[in-house]
């Protein structure tokens, strides 16, 4: 401790935690034994700062990895082995490696409408397929002359119709998926971009 302005304050260590991380990131691909000996030669491990550097290395680099089914795994506690999420030492080569970022693939949108023609289509509602029939009607006053679609029938699909739907979805013919943006539904052809 030292006295500054009448109050006692602990001396702060003059170390930059990102410095060690940047150094380790730049050493990816080199043998871990050489990297560790370089780090170990610089700070004095009998002093507090040297112990802090070594403890930080244990958190930044996983050295307890093993191979299982050609995949590098790390020993876990109660949850079992898991792939390392930080820098790790490859168990076979001894090189410092960076983990591959997980690949996230957007799931294909679920097709919920198959068009027969402009007035008839199949639509999936709460997990069940239905056939919707419509007809064109003209508005009466005050929108006279304008046409709209009026639903004339709705029935659950038979097994034969379900086979037709499955074939249309497989071919992409007449298949649509629903996209909701800003509270509005849009029906997009399944062959179009996601």
| Per-residue confidence band for 139, with pLDDT thresholds at 50, 70 and 90 | confident
Same domain, 92 and 132: no
**pLDDT at position 2:** 47
Same structural domain, 171 and 115: yes
> What is the mean pLDDT of the segment spanning 80-88?
88
Is the separation of the CB atoms in 20 and 57 below 8 Å? yes
For residues 119-128, give the mean pLDDT.
92
Task: Please report which confidence band the pLDDT of residue 8 belongs to, taking 50, 70 and 90 as the band edges.
Answer: very low
Q: What percent of the chain has pLDDT over 70?
A: 88
Average pLDDT estimate for 67-95: 88
Q: Which of 37-41, 140-144, 152-156 has the highest average model confidence (pLDDT)? A: 152-156
Average pLDDT of the residues in 163-187: 87
What's the domain count of the chain?
2
Q: Are residues 80 and 24 in the same domain?
A: yes
pLDDT at 4: 52
Is 176 part of a structural domain of the chain?
Answer: yes
Is there a domain that residue 10 lies in?
no
Q: Assess if residue 158 is contained within a domain.
A: yes
Residues 52 and 24 in one domain: yes
Last residue of a domain, one of 66, 97, 128: 97
Parent domain of 87: 16-97
* Whether residues 29 and 91 fall in one domain: yes
Are 22 and 89 in the same domain? Answer: yes
> Phi and psi of 18, rounded to 5°?
-75, -20
- The candidate with the shortest Cα–Cα distance to 161, out of 188, 108, 121, 125, is 121
């Amino acid at each position: 401790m030292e006295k500054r302005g009448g109050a006692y304050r602990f001396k702060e260590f003059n170390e930059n935690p990102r410095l060690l991380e940047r150094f380790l990131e730049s050493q990816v691909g080199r043998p871990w034994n050489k990297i560790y000996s370089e780090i170990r030669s610089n700070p004095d491990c009998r002093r507090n700062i040297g112990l802090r550097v070594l403890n930080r290395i244990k958190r930044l680099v996983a050295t307890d990895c093993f191979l299982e089914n050609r995949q590098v795994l790390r020993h876990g506690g109660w949850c079992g082995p898991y792939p390392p999420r930080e820098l790790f030492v490859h168990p076979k080569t001894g090189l410092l490696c960076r983990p591959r970022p997980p690949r996230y693939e957007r799931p294909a949108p679920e097709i919920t409408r198959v068009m027969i023609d402009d007035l008839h289509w199949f639509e999936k509602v709460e997990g069940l397929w239905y056939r919707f029939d419509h007809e064109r009607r003209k508005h009466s006053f005050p929108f006279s002359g304008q046409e709209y679609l009026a639903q004339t029938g709705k029935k659950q699909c038979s097994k034969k119709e379900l086979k037709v739907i499955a074939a249309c979805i497989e071919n992409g013919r007449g298949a649509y998926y629903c996209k909701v943006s800003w509270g509005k539904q849009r029906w997009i052809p399944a062959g179009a971009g996601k």
